[in-house]
Chains A and B, each alone.
Chain A
Amino acid sequence: MDEFVIHNVRFYDYEPRAIQCMSYEEESYRLALSRSDGAIEIWNCQNRPFLQLVLPAESDASVEGLAWCDGRLFSVGLHGYLIEYDLSAVGVKARYAVTGGPTWCLALSPDKKSLAMGTEEGYVCLFDVGSDDVLYNKTLEKQEGRILSICWHNGGNHIVTGSINCVRLWSLMDGRVTRCSFVHNKREEIIVWCVAILDDMTIISGDSRGSVCFWNGTLGTQTDYVQSHKAGVLCLAVGSDQSFVIVAGVDPTIIRVSLAQTGGKKGRRARWIPTVKLRVHTHDVRALAFTNEGKLYSGGVDTILACSSYPPKVVIKTPTPLYPGYVSLGRQSDCVLLRYKERLELWRLGKPRVTGEPQEMFHAIEEDRQKLVELHCKEGESIDWCALSPEGFWIAYIVKGHLKILQFFPPTLDRQVSIRRVRALSKEIDTSRQVMWLGEEQLVSVTTKGTIQFITISDMEATVESTLTPRSPVQSLASSQDGKVLVVLDVNQGVTAYKLESGQEITLPKYSSPVVSLCVNPFTYDVLIAYSDSTIKEYSLRTKKYTNFSTNFLPSKRVHNGLSQLVSAVRYMSYDLNNGTLIFLHDDSSLLVLDSAAVTEYDDRYMPPNKITRGNNKSNKQNISGSKSPTRNSNIGRLIAFPRLHQVLFFSHIRDKNIISVEIDPVALHDQLPPMLKVKKYGGV
């Protein structure tokens, strides 16, 4: 194997946002979560959780409640609208105004026919979910104080809401309201952040005192009280058999409160008892979702999505991965385009001083990295996508669905950097949500209508060359290096390959797990697909079969190797452009290199992957602080893993013998977060 120079990009200030609320759909294993900037992420949790889709935030976006209803996603926010999303078009489908202004909470009825939401002014609004739309049903009697939390009883006839200083139980049939009041002193009000109701009409509420209260719903009296936390309880989740609830909040300890029979001879009495404690998060936990499989998803201010289960105690933490369309490479150049919310930055990577004797782990830098261009969009607008052409001469980006194309002239000895905008855009170009350069002056755009448009630029004029209409809406794209093969992943997890020259369309076989990432071999046009159960398959377009490499070596359910031991799903894959034998892939915490040539030579000889990993640990540890270093991995076959301390956002091969790895330091990320709850610890800091 050749030696490569790794460019460690650590100047990218990627800012993940706090998780605001969550909703889990059991049928499709999908978890919707909203971030504090209003963006909604759809995670697929069928095997290893991975980010499937991002609904970008709008300028006034605010998400306070999320609900799934038969694959449809609804949200409410402080803007006072109920929003239905179109997941295939990645956008808002419809908005419905809610009576009572800013809306704090959303709940779906157990029969999945109605939505209830609580508002600032004290109204509870009910909407009926139709087959294609949502209809306003009624508004319940106005009550004092804002409604912060809402929950629907499994019988369907009762709604419980949490307000300030009280919890109310609404009977929908007879319109009666039972009020459960807290005993409190006048100065300090008790905010009920979360409520739930069990089948036996036990109301559970979590409040700003850090306590969980249990109420008899029919009588409106408090039956039990657990002071579980030191600060406000923000969220609770009810266990599947209703024998326990899970609570967390400003005090980030996740506590399971279980129902225990404690009575004696004189009469059995059930009591709620805090039992299992889980310290996963460092900051406020804002949202919890408990699945029927016994998994608990939790997220909060520390931006980490944690998946835990008990017993036994297992915790998997997933940091926020890079959203698609944030980092774009000119793979023939040495430029990288970094996207921020309101600006783009084009950087040229540094050059190492190669002495020919790579005994040191870090190269001296001959020429430092250079920021070539910084592009800002108009105020109030945000950039949704960006792409850099392979040679690095063209930049395309999307603002509010409108495609913008720039020609870029890199600096030379006698010339400054200059940029020219392509102003003549053909009217046929539709609003777009995703673009990709196939080559210089040729790009492909996924329109909001679901079609794929091929756009060429000639004489600073962009025209639509052809349009392709796939059967299902497009989720993501990949192309070969020369732009001759385009591979499309649709929302139904079907993968279709298009040979652009011949117009041939090849549908790839389906697999049980969802697709995480795909790429095309630059020479053989083999399509490599990674699935969320850590299976990777290589499909040859020529023979229309899985390749030898795929069937013999690549991890599948039968064969386990280093890949299947990864905790998180593969985030991104790419082939090397020199021979197409190396595959570069990464997950959140490690870089992996797969050598298909070495495997085909000794495909029977299985080398234990963890041994290889260990052998490379040493050299890698010294790598961490350096920006550039060669990787010494000659003569070692198959899969090489480099565990990294930092979170790996992006890892790919660019030009010649260079690899780029975009990483962020979790400690630096932690420093950006607001201060955490101070808890006095014995003997600790």
Chain B
Amino acid sequence: MIMEEDTRVLYYWGPLLQCKPLITSSSKYLLAALESAIRVFSTDTGNLIKTLKGHSNEIVGFAPVFDKEDEFFSCDEYGKICHWSLLKDVKESNLMKEYQLKSLNTKKDKAVVATFLVKGSAAEFIVGVGKDTGKLFRYTNPTHKPVVLEKCAKLGSNKVAISHHEDCVIFLTKQHLQVVSLSSSKRASHHTGVNEITCVMCHPSKMSIATGNCIGEVVLWYNLFKEPIKQSLHWHSLPVADMAFSNTGSELYTGGGECVLVNWQLTQNKHRFLPRLGMPIKYVITDMRNEKIICAHLDSAFTVISAKDYKLCGSIQGVSMSIDNMEPYPAGLTYDPRTKCVILNGRSGHVQFYDIHHNKLLYQLDVAMENYINPERNIKLYNSEVEKVAISPDGSWLATLVYRDDFQSSREIRLIFWHFDTVSQRWTLNTSVHMPHDNYVNEITFMPSSKSENTAMCVSCSDDGKFKIWEVLDNSDIYKQSSMWGCRSIGFYRHLPATSASVAPDGSLIAVGFASILTIWTYDSCHLKGTLSQPYLRDHIRQIEFGRTENCSSMIVSRSDNWLCGWNLFTCSLSWKVTISSTCMAVDPLSSYMVVFSTTRDAYIFEPKSNLVYTKLENINNKSTLCAAFVPRLEKSTSKLGWTDESQLFIIDEAQRLKLIEPKANLRAVEAVIEGVIQEFAQDTVGTTPFSTLVAQTRVTDVAVDKSRQLGSAAFGVNVQNSSALLQKVLDESRVYRLDTFTTLAKEFCKLVLPEATTSADVEEEEDINKRIKKEESEVVLQRKSVKKKKKQNLERGLNSDFSGLLSILSSDDS
């Protein structure tokens, strides 16, 4: 069943640092841009107060209106400018006025940076257009044609500054610092030297500017229109990220990668520090009342600092998003059943617990328990990162994997188990296993069935070719009852890397993907029960999921980069497969639905029992999805859509935005559900005869059993039960995990069988039977030949049609 639904994507959170945030003139509110919306936070409590929506594109700049309380402008990348007021008596809307800058509404030129000069009602806008370098326009009136100030100015946040005091704009070109007066025709250009300037800021009351450069030096410039006088303040060793003058101009605050806010007292040549702010500073914002300083950190957190005693006085934080991380959220989204929140990577070495229903960060858990290592000037230093997170189904155990590889020394891998102490209501460290595996750990997962915390079980699998089963061991002594985690058993298969693992909902089986081969193991004895593979499935298995509900508990869905396969555990065969380039897959714990996200930014909701698409969500996002999770609803939904009844789907995309995906329940879609219009999305027909299906390449156990039955039915003097017992003996002697080929097994079997079949009658009968068998066999061979032929045709058709059929269907879907 496939439905085209209008999806409603609700933004929950994203990086707030696309442009420099602003403190309003009453210093009560902090404004931060999240794509096209403006988030208004209270600087006192740190709560999100409201979200202002008026833009439809990404916001590139804010500017306050100085003489009106809590009024400000915002500008988006296509030149729309909104005038907002946050005063409470404006009931209907905070939006007061809208402008459109002339000749900026075309789609090809995007504004990168905007800054404004606002004097009473008249406002001038300085807008930069381009990528890293581009044109800088000056709008004296939004409807008039702009004046080009500079053709190749360096653009970016902090690179263009406007002096409200002297009416001049300061910007950077390739090698020079340009000062252009807006009220007169004065213009000056100064050489900047070898060290690239990273940020520019104007003094609020004097004709001087401050620049920060890439070696961490802050230079104060005076006499800008003549021979400049430069004063150097040098404490930082990393590039200065941002700086801000206090409103009186006597103090300068600078921040950078050292996580230290430096306060330069310019009149006394002194400086003081506020160290250990947690994450590198991206922006420093001061208010107009000299009460607060706000540091915006790389992880979208804001630290509120009291200007009077220069101490921390609060923080504003949503989801911690480290925006310069190249591979964000390696641990993905995990649902915590105890607090009903999601667990995801926070600051480096931390995991955060984010209450997704109330939109609130609960806390960050320091997993690595290491100080954040700042990068050095020319060297990237590596911090320990939490790469995998798993939580036990009752929420009492948390397993985290801390990984650090600096590509020089040996890797550090730690598997850390945390226990939730119900008395103190906090996570306590239970066991830390150093080097649980020799190589990168691909997955850790808990057994979903364990109901008490003492029977919890965890599986980890790694590139070193092993998967390990961990369980709670009793560590009690005479002093106290305690428990610890230990490794119970290890499994490996053909020295292939173990890429993925999953535990059946009832806890009886473990499915482990070794490269492209799916293996099934018993949990109790760690015996290999079966291997499932197909010759054309060459991709490494990325994800394995068992069907959760009763009607599909026999199904395993495996996801590799280009394939999605459903395996039936009863028949040990591939029941369906679909070619799809996917990025991730998520399972609803409360229903049978699964969702897979394609690289073409579509989402397909399906049930594991068949390859039929239940719902297709097209183009849910403009960035591909990194990770996703179903989070159970607090209240049951009344929608008739089915798949969102129990849970909501949350995703994080590559731009690090956390989103809730909720389809719109329109009538047409509901009707479609009722009518049950089923549309095949991409499939190859599954035949009815056992041989006509694409049988799994190796079905060691099954085939052996079949053979024994055949022998038994032949009944030529050998007791059927005896023979099957003999066979059982052979099979028992050979260990599951090093199962021999069938020919060797057959040899063993024949050795056992031969001494028992000796009488002449038997021989006659045997001959007779042999003839019959030969006849049968020839028939079977013929049948097999035809079957083979059919199979071959099928396979060819399948291989050929997989893509074309998919494409044609996709295109028909599109149309």
A262 within 8 A of B: yes
B105 within 8 A of A: no
B207 and A264 form a contact (CB under 8 A): yes
In angstroms, Cα B231 to Cα A261, docked, is 13
A262 and B207 form a contact (CB under 8 A): yes
User: Shortest distance in angstroms between B208's beta carbon and chain A's nearest beta carbon?
Assistant: 6
| Best-surrounded residue of B165, B222, B237 (most CB of chain A within 10 A) | B222
B205 within 8 A of A: yes
With A227-B269, A258-B229, A275-B229 in contact, is A265–B165 under 8 Å at CB?
A: yes
A226 within 8 A of B: yes
A11 within 8 A of B: no
A263 and B206 form a contact (CB under 8 A): yes
Chain B residues near A271 (CB, 8 Å)? 222
Chain A residues near B270 (CB, 8 Å)? 227
In angstroms, Cα B269 to Cα A17, docked, is 35
In angstroms, Cα B232 to Cα A667, docked, is 31
Chain B residues near A277 (CB, 8 Å)? 232
A274 within 8 A of B: yes
Chain B residues near A683 (CB, 8 Å)? 237
Residue-wise interface mask of B (233-251) relative to A, using a CB-CB cutoff of 8 A (1 in contact, 0 not):
0000100000000000000
Of residues 469 to 493 in A, which have CB atoms within 8 Å of B's CB atoms? none
Chain A residues near B268 (CB, 8 Å)? 227
In angstroms, Cα B222 to Cα A262, docked, is 7
Among B206, B230, B232, point to the contact of A262 (Cβ < 8 A): B206
B166 within 8 A of A: yes
B220 within 8 A of A: yes
Among A264, A265, A273, A682, point to the contact of B231 (Cβ < 8 A): A273
Residue-wise interface mask of B (141-184) relative to A, using a CB-CB cutoff of 8 A (1 in contact, 0 not):
00000000000000000000000011000000000000000000
Residue-wise interface mask of A (250-286) relative to B, using a CB-CB cutoff of 8 A (1 in contact, 0 not):
0000000010111111000001011111000000000
Total interface residues on A, using CB and 8 Å? 18
Among B208, B229, B269, point to the contact of A228 (Cβ < 8 A): B269
Residue-wise interface mask of A (209-243) relative to B, using a CB-CB cutoff of 8 A (1 in contact, 0 not):
00000000000000000111000000000000000
Of residues 273 to 313 in A, which have CB atoms within 8 Å of B's CB atoms? 273-277
In angstroms, Cα B270 to Cα A226, docked, is 11
B165 and A264 form a contact (CB under 8 A): yes
User: Shortest distance in angstroms between B66's beta carbon and chain A's nearest beta carbon?
Assistant: 15
Among A228, A264, A273, A682, point to the contact of B220 (Cβ < 8 A): A273
Chain B residues near A274 (CB, 8 Å)? 231, 269
Among B205, B222, B237, point to the contact of A273 (Cβ < 8 A): B222
B639 within 8 A of A: no
Chain A residues near B207 (CB, 8 Å)? 261-264
Residue-wise interface mask of B (217-235) relative to A, using a CB-CB cutoff of 8 A (1 in contact, 0 not):
0001011000001111000
B269 and A226 form a contact (CB under 8 A): yes
User: Total number of A-B contacts with CB less than 8 angstroms?
Assistant: 40
In angstroms, Cα B159 to Cα A611, docked, is 47
Q: Closest residue to B270 on the A side, CB-wise?
A: A227
B229 and A273 form a contact (CB under 8 A): yes
With A273-B229, A682-B237 in contact, is A261–B269 under 8 Å at CB?
A: no
In angstroms, Cα B79 to Cα A553, docked, is 72
In angstroms, Cα B207 to Cα A274, docked, is 17
User: Shortest distance in angstroms between B245's beta carbon and chain A's nearest beta carbon?
Assistant: 13
A262 and B269 form a contact (CB under 8 A): no
Total interface residues on B, using CB and 8 Å? 17
Of residues 251 to 279 in B, which have CB atoms within 8 Å of A's CB atoms? 268-270
In angstroms, Cα B222 to Cα A273, docked, is 9
In angstroms, Cα B230 to Cα A271, docked, is 12
In angstroms, Cα B206 to Cα A264, docked, is 5
User: Shortest distance in angstroms between B104's beta carbon and chain A's nearest beta carbon?
Assistant: 32
User: Shortest distance in angstroms between B323's beta carbon and chain A's nearest beta carbon?
Assistant: 28
Of residues 550 to 566 in B, which have CB atoms within 8 Å of A's CB atoms? none
| Best-surrounded residue of A226, A227, A262 (most CB of chain B within 10 A) | A262
User: Shortest distance in angstroms between B233's beta carbon and chain A's nearest beta carbon?
Assistant: 10
Chain B residues near A228 (CB, 8 Å)? 269
A275 and B165 form a contact (CB under 8 A): no
A261 and B237 form a contact (CB under 8 A): no
Chain B residues near A275 (CB, 8 Å)? 229-232
User: Shortest distance in angstroms between B227's beta carbon and chain A's nearest beta carbon?
Assistant: 9
Chain B residues near A227 (CB, 8 Å)? 268-270
A261 and B223 form a contact (CB under 8 A): yes
In angstroms, Cα B166 to Cα A284, docked, is 42
Q: Closest residue to A311 on the B side, CB-wise?
A: B227
Chain A residues near B229 (CB, 8 Å)? 258, 260, 273, 275
In angstroms, Cα B229 to Cα A46, docked, is 30
User: Shortest distance in angstroms between A213's beta carbon and chain B's nearest beta carbon?
Assistant: 13
User: Shortest distance in angstroms between A310's beta carbon and chain B's nearest beta carbon?
Assistant: 12
Chain B residues near A264 (CB, 8 Å)? 165-166, 205-207
Q: Closest residue to A260 on the B side, CB-wise?
A: B222
In angstroms, Cα B229 to Cα A273, docked, is 8
In angstroms, Cα B270 to Cα A682, docked, is 17
Chain A residues near B237 (CB, 8 Å)? 682-683
Of residues 188 to 214 in B, which have CB atoms within 8 Å of A's CB atoms? 205-208
Chain A residues near B269 (CB, 8 Å)? 226-228, 274
In angstroms, Cα B220 to Cα A271, docked, is 13
In angstroms, Cα B206 to Cα A273, docked, is 14
Q: Closest residue to B165 on the A side, CB-wise?
A: A264
Chain A residues near B222 (CB, 8 Å)? 260-262, 271, 273
User: Shortest distance in angstroms between A63's beta carbon and chain B's nearest beta carbon?
Assistant: 34
In angstroms, Cα B208 to Cα A14, docked, is 51
User: Shortest distance in angstroms between B234's beta carbon and chain A's nearest beta carbon?
Assistant: 9
Residue-wise interface mask of B (268-297) relative to A, using a CB-CB cutoff of 8 A (1 in contact, 0 not):
111000000000000000000000000000
B205 and A260 form a contact (CB under 8 A): no
User: Shortest distance in angstroms between A256's beta carbon and chain B's nearest beta carbon?
Assistant: 9
In angstroms, Cα B58 to Cα A256, docked, is 47
Residue-wise interface mask of B (90-114) relative to A, using a CB-CB cutoff of 8 A (1 in contact, 0 not):
0000000000000000000000000
Q: Closest residue to A682 on the B side, CB-wise?
A: B237
In angstroms, Cα B220 to Cα A258, docked, is 13
Q: Closest residue to B216 on the A side, CB-wise?
A: A682
Among A226, A262, A265, A682, point to the contact of B208 (Cβ < 8 A): A262
User: Shortest distance in angstroms between A246's beta carbon and chain B's nearest beta carbon?
Assistant: 14
In angstroms, Cα B258 to Cα A682, docked, is 13
In angstroms, Cα B374 to Cα A682, docked, is 15
User: Shortest distance in angstroms between B295's beta carbon and chain A's nearest beta carbon?
Assistant: 22
In angstroms, Cα B207 to Cα A265, docked, is 9
Q: Closest residue to A269 on the B side, CB-wise?
A: B206
B232 and A260 form a contact (CB under 8 A): no
Q: Closest residue to B205 on the A side, CB-wise?
A: A264
In angstroms, Cα B220 to Cα A262, docked, is 11
Q: Closest residue to B230 on the A side, CB-wise?
A: A275
In angstroms, Cα B230 to Cα A274, docked, is 8
In angstroms, Cα B207 to Cα A511, docked, is 53
Q: Closest residue to B167 on the A side, CB-wise?
A: A265
In angstroms, Cα B222 to Cα A275, docked, is 10
In angstroms, Cα B237 to Cα A271, docked, is 28
| Best-surrounded residue of B206, B229, B230, B237 (most CB of chain A within 10 A) | B229
| Best-surrounded residue of B207, B231, B268 (most CB of chain A within 10 A) | B231
User: Shortest distance in angstroms between B527's beta carbon and chain A's nearest beta carbon?
Assistant: 58
Chain B residues near A265 (CB, 8 Å)? 165
Chain A residues near B206 (CB, 8 Å)? 262-264
Q: Closest residue to B231 on the A side, CB-wise?
A: A273
In angstroms, Cα B228 to Cα A261, docked, is 10
In angstroms, Cα B226 to Cα A261, docked, is 10
User: Shortest distance in angstroms between B607's beta carbon and chain A's nearest beta carbon?
Assistant: 61
In angstroms, Cα B100 to Cα A316, docked, is 61
- Listed A/B pairs (13) with beta-carbon separation below 8 Å: A226-B269, A227-B268, A260-B223, A261-B223, A263-B207, A264-B165, A264-B205, A265-B165, A273-B220, A273-B222, A273-B229, A275-B232, A277-B232
Supply 6 further A-B pairs (C-beta < 8 A) apart from A227-B269, A275-B230: A260-B208, A262-B206, A262-B222, A264-B206, A271-B222, A277-B232
Closest 4 CB pairs of A and B: A260-B222, A227-B269, A260-B229, A262-B206
A interface with B by C-beta (< 8 Å): 226-228, 258, 260-265, 271, 273-277, 682-683
